[in-house]
Amino acid sequence: MKGLYEFKEEDAYNFARSVHIQTQTRGDELQFYICPYCRGGKNGKDRGTFSINLLTGQFKCLRASCSISGNMITLARDFDFSLGIEVDEYYQPKKRYRRLKTPSKPIEPLPKAVEYLKSRGISEVVARKYEITTQAKRDDILVFPFFDENGKMQYVKYRDTSFFKGKTYLDKNGEHQASPKEWAEKDCKPILFGMKQCEKDRKRLVICEGQIDSLSVVEAGIDCAVSVPGGMNNFRWIPYCWNWVCEFEEIVVFGDYERDHMTLLDSIRKRFPNKIRYVRRDDYKGCKDANEILQKHGKDSVRGAVENAIEQPVKQVVELADVKRQDLRDIPKFKTGFRQLDSYLGGYFYGGQLIILTGKRGQGKSTVANQICVAALQQGKKIFAYSGELPNWQYKSWIDYQIAGPGNIVEQLNQDGEMRRFITNSNQDRIDDWYRRKFYLFDNNVVDDDELTDLISTIENSVMQYGIDLVVVDNLMTALDVDMAKDEYRCQSKFVKKLSRLTKRHDVVVILVAHPRKNSLTVDENDAVSGSGDITNLADIVMTFKRDEDQEDLNHLSVSKNRWFGKLTKKDGIDLRYDKKSRRLIDKSQMDFDFEVGWEPKEPQQYSFDGFINATDDMETPFKI
């Protein structure tokens, strides 16, 4: 049986949902708001001490007095959490349960049981068929016997028909304790209620959350209806009912409908291979469950709800006829700032596109990305940028030069003959005001060296909170927040897949800067990108930037993949000229480098006779080039 269970990341998330604890992803760890074991200590104040490793499935609580650790099998055992029927059977051996005595004759319902069920719309005929009665000494306690498919009584559940919120009872110590609404006999084998009463026809089985609900379905004329023994989150019954349930051609899930969600549905679908259908939202008629429908709308409505049940759609599958037409004019978009490039890309970068920008180290990939940012800002777009190689201040200095333009950059020769360039304080203030609340930068200063930060979550939160239109990730290798030595290509692929999904989910443009392979001899620029093949496979556009070998100020930008429009550049690509003073790039459609982007002062700067601005308090410390 070795290798029966292999950890899957989704198991960690499913466990979090099953114990109803809030989580957040930090790097390759799923961090829980509180530990499910110690619950945050005596006062519940210790937060974030428990996490599951999303690569291995190992977990640990960092509280010294707890220090619990283990793996997903441990969690499955301790919290009655399922990892699949085969795993449940092997790793959670069937417990030895009490053997209840099966009555030799059918149980006769006592009058109070019949009276209560009638008040819920359920007839005496159904009460007798399911042998529902009350306790001999307390006729307000309803008794539900659970018989297996062979007629053996395995489980007994009780319901306080006089229950009200706040009801208490005296315990052995004379103290008041909250009274339960329902409870069961201890150490009994959990099975489905109503198995014995199901007809031999194995076409359809209706599964409900509560016993009263399954009886309501039977009252509506549908014989094969059962209910789970322990509510929506307790699936201990599955190993004991698996084979029997699998005999049915289909399962109709008729769970409780609350907060726009049906209980049982997701778990039943994951655990059984049968055809699964579920009751439509409209057929609940605003009610919570089958019994409420029975009482308010009658038997026909309950029966109709089952008959009209629909199949659970296959995840990530949609009917082609249901796909809405999308007009390119309605998609969020912006121009790149390079007219020639726009002509290849349908005029714009479009929301939902993942763009890979590659080129040799130090040749200007970041300059291209920054120039596109300037163009996006000029069109009123909002930007989020991650720069893994530059400190915040240096990133700002570089892009501010491109925003300022050559006419607003001051040049001075210092005493040793070196040229210094800088932007005056007043112009810097104007630039800051121009892109305030429009340009956001990942803050490298607040990340500790040993802190694993989930960049994808940061990006997505920023997109939602600030209304980001363009995301720049510069570059792939520094963006990975996992131990690359374990599986470099897998980590790259996973990161780029998340980026790709993010673009589609939020209709944003993402530019990912990636290095080419070392000593690559391929002529295909897509294959030349370093790392996993998924990087370019997932991209909508792949662009390569390189310097001209003969002319220092001439560069080439080529498009080697263009999924939306298919138009690719020729071998040499688009020619772009470079201005060292402002770091700006322009194509041949632009006249010069000194174009305005929107922040510029209305009055021209006052320069001295020698062409340099007079030294005043308006100057900042020059930036050395």
DSSP state of 529: B
For residues 210 and 344, membership in a common domain is answered with no
Let me know the angle formed at the C-alpha of 164 by 160 and 166, rounded to the nearest 5 degrees.
Answer: 120
Alpha-carbon span 592 to 579, nearest angstrom: 10
Q: Output the domain CATH number for residue 292.
A: 3.40.1360.10
Residue 485 pLDDT: 44
For residues 350 and 214, membership in a common domain is answered with no
Beta bridge partners of 160: 141
Residue 603 pLDDT: 60
Asked if residue 612 is part of any domain, the answer here is yes
Close Cβ partners of 290 (under 8 Å, ≥ 6 residues apart): 208, 213, 214, 216, 217, 254, 302, 305
For residues 294 and 356, membership in a common domain is answered with no
For residues 302 and 196, membership in a common domain is answered with yes
Q: Output the domain CATH number for residue 497.
A: 3.40.50.300
Question: Residue 347 phi/psi, 5° resolution?
Answer: 95, -20
Asked if residue 99 is part of any domain, the answer here is no
Q: By the 8 A CB rule, do 401 and 409 touch?
A: yes
Residue 611 pLDDT: 45
Given 250, 280, 311, the domain boundary residue is 311
For residues 304 and 336, membership in a common domain is answered with no
Question: Residue 125 phi/psi, 5° resolution?
Answer: -60, -45
For residues 398 and 535, membership in a common domain is answered with yes
Residue 610 pLDDT: 44
Cβ burial 579-616 (10 Å sphere, 16+ → b, else e): bebbbbbbbeebeebeeebebbeeeeeeeeeeeebeee
Close Cβ partners of 572 (under 8 Å, ≥ 6 residues apart): 556, 558
Alpha-carbon span 374 to 279, nearest angstrom: 53
For residues 378 and 418, membership in a common domain is answered with yes
Alpha-carbon span 406 to 594, nearest angstrom: 6
Asked if residue 69 is part of any domain, the answer here is yes
Name residue, tokens 């291995």.
Answer: 56
For residues 367 and 399, membership in a common domain is answered with yes
Q: Which residues span the domain enclosing 569?
A: 330-624
Asked if residue 316 is part of any domain, the answer here is no
Using alpha carbons, select from 441, 351, 365, 423 the residue that is nearest to residue 601. 423
For residues 163 and 71, membership in a common domain is answered with no
Maximum Cα–Cα distance across the chain: 115
For residues 441 and 392, membership in a common domain is answered with yes
Helices (H), 21-145: 72-78, 85-91, 111-119, 124-129
Given 36, 59, 91, the domain boundary residue is 91
Q: Output the domain CATH number for residue 66.
A: 3.90.580
Average pLDDT per consecutive 10 residues, the chain (625 residues; last block may be shorter): 67 87 88 90 85 92 88 82 67 71 94 96 97 94 96 95 83 80 90 93 94 97 93 73 90 91 84 89 95 97 96 75 83 94 94 92 90 95 90 92 93 84 92 94 67 72 90 81 54 85 92 73 54 76 90 90 93 91 91 90 54 47 42
For residues 266 and 401, membership in a common domain is answered with no
For residues 86 and 158, membership in a common domain is answered with no
DSSP code per residue over 534-565: HHHHS-SEEEEEEE-SS-TTEEEEEEEEETTT
Asked if residue 489 is part of any domain, the answer here is yes
Asked if residue 37 is part of any domain, the answer here is yes
Tally of structural domains, the chain: 3
Asked if residue 270 is part of any domain, the answer here is yes
Given 91, 121, 140, the domain boundary residue is 91
Asked if residue 317 is part of any domain, the answer here is no
